[in-house]
Chains A and B, each alone.
Chain A
Amino acid sequence: MILSAITLTNFRNHAATVVKFASGINAVLGKNGQGKTNLLEAVSYVGLTKSFYAASDRDVLCFGAEEFTLDARIASDAGVEHRVGVRYTREPSGKSVAVDGLEQARLASVIGRFPVVILSPEHGAITSGGPAERRKFMDVTLSQVAAAYLDDAMEYRRVLRQRNRILSDGLQRGPFPSAVIEPWTESLARYGGRIAFRRRAFVEEFRAYVRDAYRSILPLEGEATDAEEPDLAYECGFPVEAETTAEGMTDRMAAALASRRLEEQRRGITLAGPHRDEIHLTINGVDVQHFASQGQHKTILVALKIAEYRYMRERRQEAPLLLLDDVFSELDTGRARRILDVTLAMGQSIITATDDRAFGGSIGWGDKNRRFTIEHGTCRPAA
């Protein structure tokens, strides 16, 4: 897809901003605090109906304003033009998304229609943080390729909260009849089995994408990396074997919950399920989270994102929009150059940076690749 233009009204520090994007690289340049990331955040609302930061809708509303609106013009790879409008009002608080003028009854139905891949400094946690970060990475990717997965994941989260409440209330008020928790256990296992089944299949497929992407950004000068082989392994949050159906996984999860019933009652929390999944990242068999070098962390993160891009493009038959937030300050120039090379081959991207030095001299700025400057929430094409 190509995002041809976006209009921001009262979004963060953008009171009224219109940006017309080029179909290749779009460099958004400016000092810190001028509104570069806010522009990317607005684009993420169009694809994911929310900010890629943990920010709430109220947080991104321009100070003192009653509502913000976004209006995006998008062309699919097949050449079909779409308009996406996002509107949030503060009082009464509510968000709506309209596609081609048609308001969507479920926000979730928009996710995946206009696929985006985002790399921002916070994503460093995917390789260096705990399992929750890697589950989130997997969820964002899978949600954009399979709406049913997103639906299951949202329902699972809700059932889990309900079930945990029964268990934590039990800690305070004493034992409860098993009939009270059983419906939630059955429901949780049904969604959990489906989620685990899809995640396991995803990791199996995704391994090859990550290995290819890692190889394509290596070797960097002066780094002896020829023999480096990254890998991913899925560790399910409940004991599984080679189940071949989602129903089989559901039975496994139900069995795991049954066997831990007493422990759950003692600890007041759900102890088995995909909310405890882990994806182990390794390089040559060595755990990345704890033992990788700074350089390896950065390289494998970029590889994960390139792999995510290629996976989504193949699955959706649609090129995602690539959003790179301030990656050049995080990466050395060698890695940054590799990303640029790959980016040029990929399609449309929006890249924020403090200045255009990181882009080097090799990019032809013009109709295909455009530069913009942002100052105090005003964005204009660079001279």
Chain B
Amino acid sequence: MLYTSEALQQLIEEFSKLPGIGRKSAQRLALYLLKQQREDVVRMAKAMVNLKDKIRPCSVCCNITEEDPCAICSSAKRDRSILCVVEEPNDVIALEKTNEFRGLYHVLGGSLSPLEGIGPDDLKVKELLLRIDGTVVEVILAMNPNVEGEATTIYLTRLLKPLGVAVSRLARGIPVGGDLEFADEATLTRALEGRISL
């Protein structure tokens, strides 16, 4: 056995399953925890279990929540005529930070990717279509700017347009605060394609 303790080895293996954590980091984390107070470690372990026990999907927008429907879906202050479709709960957090978007969200749970076995039936598409009931006027498709996000955008556009709602997508291009001079050519080309008339 490489390590003198099976408990240590087990935790290292668990940690190294985490995204971005290699074996060395896992080892460092495990040994760090060993040096901490027992109650601190218990608090951390509880927080992890709570995550799984308390969080469930919102029955309206499919975002993660403790209360169903979630705080955004049940808020009286939100504009119910605009729906922003995102891939993951992370994306909702990012958009909420802007404090600019006052509409509702819909979390698809990923994007189309046949290579990973993800087809339309594996995303919350039916749930989205059910929400287009006359109240919603515009749907913003805010997928990630990669080929999977693009295919998902095309797929959803084809489904949503016949339902009589306005469909838009996020712009792709130059980041705010970036100099044109330093933008790479691919980004500039995309920005040119996505230019808007004034």
Contacts and interface: CB of A to CB of B under 8 A. Distances in A.
Contacts of A165: 114-115
A4 interface: no
Given A147-B186, A169-B114, A182 B158 contact: yes
B186 A183 contact: no
A161 B147 CA distance: 11
B55 to A, nearest CB: 27
A179 B158 CA distance: 9
Contacts of B23: 91
B24 A91 contact: yes
Interface string A280-294: 000000000000000
Contacts of B146: 158
A330 interface: no
B24 A184 contact: no
Nearest to A191: B147
Given A91-B24, A179-B155, A187-B154, A158 B186 contact: no
A148 interface: yes
A147 B189 CA distance: 9
Contacts of B115: 161-162, 165
A109 interface: yes
Interface in B142-198: 146-148, 150-155, 158-159, 184-186, 188-189
Contact of A108 (B21, B153, B186): B186
- Most chain A CB atoms below 10 A, which of B23, B114, B119, B185: B114
B114 A186 contact: no
B151 A159 contact: yes
Given A92-B20, A108-B186, A147-B185, A158 B119 contact: no
Given A151-B189, A169-B114, A180-B120, A187 B158 contact: no
Given A159-B147, A165-B114, A183-B155, A151 B24 contact: no
A158 B113 CA distance: 10
Given A150-B186, A186-B154, A158 B24 contact: no
A148 B186 contact: yes
Interface in A5-40: none
A148 B173 CA distance: 13
Given A92-B22, A161-B115, A165-B114, A184 B186 contact: no
Contacts of A159: 147, 151
Contacts of B185: 146-148
Contacts of B184: 106, 108-109, 147
B24 A162 contact: no
Interface size class of B (residues with CB under 8 A): 20 to 34
A97 interface: no
Nearest to A166: B114
Nearest to B184: A109
Interface string A178-204: 011011101100000000000000000
A92 B25 CA distance: 9
A228 interface: no
A182 B24 CA distance: 44
Interface in B18-36: 20-25
B92 interface: no
Contacts of A169: 114
B73 interface: no
A155 interface: yes
A162 B114 contact: yes
Contacts of A182: 154-155, 158
Contacts of B120: 179-180
A147 B191 CA distance: 14
Contact of B151 (A91, A148, A161, A162): A162
A106 B183 CA distance: 12
Contact of A151 (B20, B154, B186): B186
Nearest to B153: A183
B112 interface: yes
A183 B112 contact: yes
- Most chain A CB atoms below 10 A, which of B23, B115, B146, B153: B115
A291 to B, nearest CB: 40
Contacts of B158: 179, 182-183
Contact of A162 (B147, B155, B159, B189): B147
B175 to A, nearest CB: 10
A346 B41 CA distance: 65
Nearest to B148: A162
B154 A183 contact: yes
Interface string B107-121: 000001111000110
Nearest to A165: B114
A187 B150 contact: yes
Nearest to A108: B186
A80 to B, nearest CB: 14
Listed from nearest, the 4 A-B pairs whose CB atoms lie closest are A147-B185, A92-B22, A151-B186, A183-B154
Interface of A: 91-92, 106, 108-109, 146-148, 150-151, 155, 158-159, 161-163, 165-166, 169, 179-180, 182-184, 186-187
14 contacts: A92-B22, A150-B186, A151-B186, A151-B189, A158-B146, A158-B147, A162-B151, A166-B114, A169-B114, A179-B120, A183-B150, A183-B151, A183-B154, A183-B158
Given A150-B186, A162-B115, A186-B154, 4 more contacts: A147-B186, A155-B147, A159-B151, A169-B114
